[in-house]
Amino acid sequence: MTSPDKASQETITGVRVWVPGKLFSFTCTRPTGFRFTAGQFARLGVNNTLVIAGEPDVIWRAYSMVSGPYDEHLEFFSIVVPDGAFTSHLSRLKVGDPIWVDKTNFGFLTTARFESGKHLWLLGSGTGLAPFLSILLDPDTWNKFETIVLVHSARTVEELVYQDQIQQFTGHPLMSELVPNLAERFRYIPVVTREKAPNCLNERITTLLANGELSEVTGLTLDKADSRFMICGNPEMVTDLRNTLKIMGFSPARRNTPGEVAVENYW
Ligand code: FAD
């Protein structure tokens, strides 16, 4: 548990509801001196104003940063869990309300996990999109990798959030200036699993990897020398993808053991 002296009280500066009662994003002020590497998460705290029994005065949860490491504010993307202790509070917050941010950064879902590689595959389901938006906003990622493929899987089209930001990413004022040939180097593959959707793939990412469709639509061969994978989202999807990649010959990137796959589970 985070002690109050390790945390900083920040202020909500913006809220964007994507799907009412289900998905939203918010921005808040950034604690002075708070640094992080793209892909890491913060620990956020909300006051237990609903007085949920059995919960402490401040309820803490891990949240991946959506914002880039050089952005002035912090941004987060959240699910609303029905009766969830944390998200019941978080989803009620409005501009001007306080939120606690632990001053320490956490997590290892960063490109530092890979020693080499040319093509970075960011495979996220649901809110597992969050750290990948931050990774895309880090010029260092683009110095390390030639091509970056963002694959976001959601159940329905309305859950394919951040469309404006992703579709306009190659015109991002700072990134397009800092990253040469950004438009040719970025691929976005939206995946919708529970309904048919135009311009989207309609199978689970595991299937799309194993049947070669992702390779075909991106024009990129999957191989140990060049391909690196980051996976984030629900534990079942993470496990299935990890197993699929293992069968395809890819190994986990561990401390002191180079590999091609880095993962993060959200619960
Ligand atoms: P909890 O009691 O924490 O969760 C209840 C149940 O809700 C879980 O058992 C699970 O079945 C489901 N659940 C929890 N989180 C999610 C989710 N994200 N999507 C779908 N179902 C879920 N959540 C985010 O929304 N955005 C993030 O960027 C994010 N980053 C995380 C980073 C890390 C490293 C970890 C470990 C978790 C992250 N989470 C994120 C999950 C988050 O910490 C909380 O679990 C979530 O806010 C729900 O809190 P709660 O108290 O309302 O419900």
Question: Domain-by-domain residue ranges, the chain?
Answer: 7-102, 111-263
Task: Identify the pLDDT of residue 63.
Answer: 98
- Determine the distance separating the centroid of ligand 1 and the alpha carbon of 265, expressed in angstroms: 9
**Whether residue 87 has its Cβ less than 6 Å from ligand 1:** yes
Q: Whose CA is nearest to atom 9 of ligand 1?
A: 267
Query: Hey, do 7-102 and 111-263 end up sharing a CATH topology, with the first three levels equal?
Result: no
At 207 the pLDDT is 97
90: nearest Cα among 133, 44, 127, 52: 44
Residues contacting residue 214 through CB under 8 Å, at least 6 positions apart: 121, 149, 151, 189, 201, 205, 208, 222
> Which two tokens mark 100?
């606690």
Contact indicator for 232, 151 with CB cutoff of 8 Å: no
Task: Give distance in angstroms: CA of 236 to centre of ligand 1.
Answer: 14
Quick one: pLDDT at residue 4? 61
Q: What is the CATH number of domain 7-102?
A: 2.40.30.10
Q: Does the C-beta of 41 come closer than 6 Å to ligand 1?
A: yes
Give me the pLDDT at residue 158, please: 97
The span from the CA of 2 to the CA of 103, in Å, is 10
> How high is the pLDDT of residue 44?
98
What pLDDT does residue 256 have?
A: 86
How confident is the prediction along the chain (267 residues), in pLDDT tens digits per residue? Answer: 556 679 999 999 999 999 999 999 999 999 999 999 999 999 999 999 999 999 999 999 999 999 999 999 999 999 999 999 999 999 999 999 999 999 999 999 999 999 999 999 999 999 999 999 999 999 999 999 999 999 999 999 999 999 999 999 999 999 999 999 999 999 999 999 999 999 999 999 999 999 999 999 999 999 999 999 999 999 999 999 999 999 999 999 998 899 999 999 999
Q: Is CATH 3.40.50.80 correct for 111-263?
A: yes
